[in-house]
Amino acid sequence: MGLHTDMKNKLEKGFGEKKETEEVNMKSLIEKGILKLAEKPKDNPENLNFPVYTISLIEHDYPAKTPVMWNSVYRKFNISAGNIMAIGDTKNIQQIFEVFKKDPKYLGGGVGVGFKDEVIEFLDEIDPIAKEIGAVNFMVKTPEGKLRGFNTDGVGYAVSLEEVFGKKDERLENKKAVILGSGGTGNAIAFMLADKGMRLVILNRTTKKAEALTDKINRYFNFDEDKKARFGGEDLIEREVVDADAVINVSTKGTSGDFENYSALALAKIPVTEENIKENIKESQRIFGKISKKAIISDIVLRSGDTPFINFAKSAGFEILDGTPMVIYQGVEAFWLLHRRDFEEKGIAKQEVLKTMKEAAGFVF
């Protein structure tokens, strides 16, 4: 039985008669406290009472948009399925994945913050570009119970950045992007922006991680010397942003937790103290004064309220790009990986899914 046929059998209850389903194993993970249903995402279900479902796995609670986008599509097109965001600890990843493989209701799902790099060794199959990136953000379960990994983050972000430059009748090719941070989503974004012909400078607190990423990119695309991605530490931020066309934060600065009050544009000294935060903010404001007002300031971090990085950019009059468009576009790509053939059979176009997800996420278009 093929993946399409198996999924069609599971989903047909959403397009027609509902059928009995056997007891799921995911409930045991909830009951044991290994997984917890996230509370901050809008429209995240409070239980697992669906004939089939997709599970988005994250390491901390935040107002993610995936549940509201996916569940809006499921409801609009009368599919008896649910998208559920669950919080877990990477130390339990092997046990979680064993249940994913055995649970007959589990179709696949998102791999979020904290898990993107960690899941690879537990996958049975991985898309070649995701393997090269070294991070996965979406999984599909095959009829044989195997987990296949993909990465749609980079595609989603590249499309959103293209839209911003497109409003100015400009293309991404030959534009300089300074990427603050590496790993996980940042790796995927860097790969896709390189694929679009942008000139990349990757700066990270741990320089070796930035170096490893640029080596992967340059080897994969076999760039000539003048096109090669460059790397460095955070001490180079001030110098590199001066002529940047886009400054993009993919680091943990600005996320909830220890780093939520730090700006991505300056060093974040540890331990986290009021004095160190003030120093970071002051230095960030100074460096902002050196960036061209034509540059796009972008931060992929999603949280309640703007990050310090985006807040400064807004107050200084820069054009900004937050993480919402990326989440929408990568979400559509992931959804289509899982449901494409079934939706096409019903005459439901990918653009209809995109429109529904945009509306659900409150995206102005």
Residues 245-257 have a mean pLDDT of 91
DSSP assignment letter at 34 = S
3-state DSSP percent of the chain in helix, strand and coil, to 5: 45, 15, 40
- The pLDDT assigned to 24 comes to 46
Residue 184: the pLDDT is: 80
Question: What CA dihedral angle connects 90, 92, 97 and 103, to 10 degrees?
Answer: -130
Contact 123, 149 (CB under 8 A): yes
Residues 330 and 298 in one domain: no
- Give bridge partners of residue 199 from the DSSP assignment: 176
Which amino acid appears at position 344 of this protein?
A: E
State what percent of residues in the chain have pLDDT above 90: 81
pLDDT digits (tens, 9 = 90+) for 121-151: 999 999 999 999 988 999 999 989 999 999 9
144 and 193 share a domain? Answer: no
Residue 191 has pLDDT above 50, yes or no: yes
pLDDT at 16 over 70: no
- Could you tell me if 188 and 266 lie in one domain? yes
Q: Where are the beta strands (DSSP E) in the chain?
A: 35-37, 52-58, 81-88, 106-110, 125-126, 138-141, 147-150, 176-180, 199-203, 230-232, 246-249, 296-299, 319-321
Look at residue 21 in the predicted model and tell me its pLDDT: 41
Mark whether 161 and 299 lie in a shared domain: yes
Token look-up 């046990």 returns 95
CATH of the domain at 177: 3.40.50.720
Confidence of residue 113 (pLDDT cuts 50, 70, 90): confident
pLDDT band at 107 (very low <50, low <70, confident <90, very high): very high
Of the pLDDT bands very low, low, confident and very high (cuts 50, 70, 90), residue 7 is low
HSE value, Cβ hemisphere, 13 Å, CA-based, for 70: 29
Give the type of residue at 293: K
Residue 257 pLDDT grade (very low, low, confident, very high; cuts 50, 70, 90): confident
Distance separating alpha carbons of residues 159 and 175, to the nearest angstrom: 15
Confidence band for 12, pLDDT divided at 50, 70 and 90: low
Number of domains in the chain: 2
Which pLDDT value is given to residue 114?
83
pLDDT of residue 120: 93
**CB under 8 Å to 288, separation ≥6 — which residues?**
265, 312, 313, 316
Q: Domain check: are 294 and 177 in the same one? A: yes
Q: How far apart are CA 329 and CA 188, in angstroms?
A: 14
Whether 299 and 313 map to the same domain: the answer is yes
Q: Are residues 188 and 286 in the same domain?
A: yes
Nearest to 194 by CA among 207, 204, 182, 205: 182
Q: Is the pLDDT of residue 14 over 70?
A: no
Distance between CA 176 and CA 245 in Å, rounded?
5
Identify whether residues 177 and 135 lie together within a single domain.
Answer: no
Region 48-63 average pLDDT? 94
Q: What end-to-end distance do the CA atoms of the chain give, in Å?
A: 41
Region of poorest pLDDT, from 47-51, 230-234, 359-363: 359-363
What does the pLDDT look like over 286-337, one tens digit per residue? 999 999 999 999 999 887 789 999 999 999 999 999 998 999 999 999 999 9
Residues 181 and 286 in one domain: yes
- 293 and 160 fall within a common domain: yes
Q: Are residues 299 and 253 in the same domain?
A: yes
pLDDT digits (tens, 9 = 90+) for 57-90: 999 998 899 999 999 999 999 999 999 999 999 9
Q: In this structure, what CATH number is given to the domain that contains residue 70?
A: 3.40.50.10860
Cα(251)–Cα(244) distance, integer angstroms: 18
Residue 28 burial by Cβ neighbours in a 10 Å radius (0-12, 13-18, 19+): middle
Instruction: Annotate 93-161 with DSSP letters as a single string.
Output: HHHHHHHHHH-TTEEEEEB-TTTTTGGGGG-SEE-HHHHHHT---EEEE-TTS-EEEE--HHHHHHHHH
When the pLDDT of each residue in the chain is averaged and rounded to a whole number, the result is: 91
In the predicted structure, residue 256 carries a pLDDT above the cut 80: no
Nearest to 262 by CA among 205, 214, 317, 323: 205
Residue 11: the pLDDT is: 57
Residue 202's Cα: distance from chain center in Å?
18
**Residue ranges making up the domain that contains 296:** 154-322
User: Do 307 and 238 lie in a common domain?
Assistant: yes
Stretch 332-345: mean pLDDT, rounded? 95
Residue 157 CA: distances (Å) to CA of 58, 133, 264: 19, 15, 18
For residues 307 and 137, the answer to whether their CB atoms sit within 8 Å is no
